[in-house]
Amino acid sequence: MLVWSRSGRRLAWFLAALLFAVIYGLPIAMIALASISGQWNGVLPSHLTLMHFANSVQGESGDQLRVSIMTGAIASAVALVSGTCAALALRRIAGAPKRLLDAIFFIPSAVPSVSVGLGLLVAFSQPPVLLNGTTLIVVIAHFVLISAFTYGSVSAGLGRLAPDYEQVAESLGARAFYRLRRVTLPLVAPYLIAAFSLSFAFSMGELGATVMVYPPGWVTLPVGIFSLSDRGAIFDAAALTIILAVTTLIVLIGLSRVSTKAAVR
């Protein structure tokens, strides 16, 4: 603690709490309130109702939630595998080549997601590779956007792994694949889980690229929210937002539980 006096510390806490409440708390509280309001004309809404939640469960929103979860899970899983493979393959490279490859990997996250979507659309709208209007192109868009997370997270984990573990394993007779399976991957497991969590959360909220490429049969929840609010159904959109946030949160909490377990061992 940098602030020593008791009153000073209290003031610091108060200011921090206030800032936190305004920046994070207020928007969320507004959305939460909106999701249960029947009417909102004054400072606070009136005619509180759960109707919007009922709407969302009954309507196409249930499908959209499923689509979002599936897209997120598949894209994150593929990104995890490929990002891990890339990180493992490139870990022995150092210096300028390493920095160049890192830069290439991080390009997609530096480009606006709308542009990534547009790029995919242009690239795959003509033979020989025609993916336009398929489910696959949505997953690919998400994968392109999140693969940098996994690569970055896993290479950070591998970078912090002392070489001793793998060398001792090798001296004990473990060949490359056995070593990877029994030593390397378990030791970087927290990083793998963090990578997956981050990509999943990102994918669940992704709109920019998705909106460019999604086919009619594969509407993700953020796209649904976007079109609802576009149509002026703000309260329904708010209810969906809450559902999206809670679902993502549940998955993240579950994953972080697993991660703590992996780290503690």
Binding site for other proteins (CB under 8 A): 162, 164-165, 167-175, 178, 182-183, 186-187, 189, 262, 265
In the bound state with other proteins, the residue whose beta carbon lies nearer, of 12 and 172, is 172
- Which residues make Cβ contacts (< 8 Å) with residue 171, sequence separation at least 6? none
In the bound state with other proteins, the residue whose beta carbon lies nearer, of 20 and 178, is 178
Residue 98 CB, shortest distance to other proteins, in Å, is 18
Residue 92 CB, shortest distance to other proteins, in Å, is 13
H or E segment to which residue 93 belongs: none
H or E segment to which residue 147 belongs: helix 135-160
Residue 264 CB, shortest distance to other proteins, in Å, is 8
In the bound state with other proteins, the residue whose beta carbon lies nearer, of 7 and 171, is 171
Residue 168 CB, shortest distance to other proteins, in Å, is 5
List Cα–Cα distances, 45 to 18, 50, 237, 244, in angstroms.
23, 13, 16, 22
In the bound state with other proteins, the residue whose beta carbon lies nearer, of 47 and 182, is 182
Rounded to an integer, what distance in angstroms lies between the CA atom of residue 37 and that of residue 28? 14
* DSSP state, residue 130: E
Rounded to an integer, what distance in angstroms lies between the CA atom of residue 216 and that of residue 164? 52
Residue 89 CB, shortest distance to other proteins, in Å, is 19
In the bound state with other proteins, the residue whose beta carbon lies nearer, of 231 and 257, is 257
Rounded to an integer, what distance in angstroms lies between the CA atom of residue 255 and that of residue 250? 9
